[in-house]
A and B are shown apart, each in its own frame.
Chain A
Amino acid sequence: GAVVSQHPSWVICKSGTSVKIECRSLDFQATTMFWYRQFPKQSLMLMATSNEGSKATYEQGVEKDKFLINHASLTLSTLTVTSAHPEDSSFYICSARDSARDRDSPLHFGNGTRLTVT
């Protein structure tokens, strides 16, 4: 079945540094990927829609300069948390839709990245 690989699965970084998270679709192509953020015991909040070869679309309230998204190929999207602060500590999950399937096919999720900023 469709697999989405997210790396790293967890990362600890110091305040002020940047962290890059990768999301890869392993056996399908994804022109669109989505980045979510999940706080403890809360639901997934959509941060941005990543579009291959074009700029990402950010949800209201999400700082595009802080959360840089690059979708340079049909199988890879990256999220870079720049100048991380402790309040950025969270669980980040990506999801992808198989471009070969219709628009209403289910999204496939990565295993998430737990970011802790000290």
Chain B
Amino acid sequence: EDKVVQSPLSLVVHEGDTVTLNCSYEVTNFRSLLWYKQEKKAPTFLFMLTSSGIEKKSGRLSSILDKKELFSILNITATQTGDSAVYLCAVRTGTASKLTFGTGTRLQVTL
């Protein structure tokens, strides 16, 4: 059975802090790893990673994948209150492009 595990489950930080969110996986037929941000409703897409060691960056967010050790991290620098959300890691497997989601990390950024 495919498994995606995220840590920590929840995190409270002060505005301006830097956070690192972790995602490890055990799946068969790996295709890619995706990060999503979920505030109240639909998850919104952040990054898709397919190759090891290549950092993807978007503003204050960045992510990298290690296919040998089977994990990914999502970094957020200079956090803002608007970053408060649940961050979901998902792994795509097989030909059907099925996504298996991790448990999510609930991030709260306080003033």
Are these two chains actual partners, yes or no? yes
Q: Give Cα A41–Cα B50 distance, bound, in whole angstroms.
A: 28
Check: A69 CB closer than 8 A to any chain B CB: no
The one of A34, A41, A93, A106 in contact with B98, judged by C-beta atoms closer than 8 angstroms, is A34
Chain A residues with CB below 8 A from B104, complex form: 42-43
The one of A41, A49, A110 in contact with B96, judged by C-beta atoms closer than 8 angstroms, is A49
Chain A residues with CB below 8 A from B50, complex form: 104
Check: A62 CB closer than 8 A to any chain B CB: no
Q: Which of B13-21, B38-46, B59-67, B76-84 contacts A (4 or more CB under 8 A)?
A: B38-46
CB distance from B47 to the nearest CB of A (A): 9
Residue ID in chain B nearest A45 by CB atoms: B101
The size of the chain B interface, using a CB distance under 8 A, is 25
Q: A43-B102, A43-B104, A44-B88 are in contact. Are A103 and B97 (CB under 8 A)?
A: yes
CB distance from B94 to the nearest CB of A (A): 10
The one of A36, A93, A103, A110 in contact with B95, judged by C-beta atoms closer than 8 angstroms, is A103
Residue ID in chain B nearest A57 by CB atoms: B96
Q: Mark B79-111, 1 if CB is under 8 A from A, else 0.
A: 000000000101010011111111110100000
Q: Give Cα A14–Cα B96 distance, bound, in whole angstroms.
A: 35
Q: Mark A10-23, 1 if CB is under 8 A from B, else 0.
A: 00000000000000
Q: Give Cα A44–Cα B38 distance, bound, in whole angstroms.
A: 11
Q: Give Cα A104–Cα B45 distance, bound, in whole angstroms.
A: 13
CB distance from A58 to the nearest CB of B (A): 12
Q: Give Cα A118–Cα B103 distance, bound, in whole angstroms.
A: 27
The 11 listed contacts between A and B (C-beta, < 8 Å) are A4-B42, A42-B103, A44-B43, A46-B99, A49-B96, A103-B97, A104-B92, A104-B97, A107-B45, A111-B41, A111-B42
Binding site for B on A (CB under 8 A): 4, 32, 34, 36, 41-46, 49, 57, 93, 95, 97, 103-104, 106-112
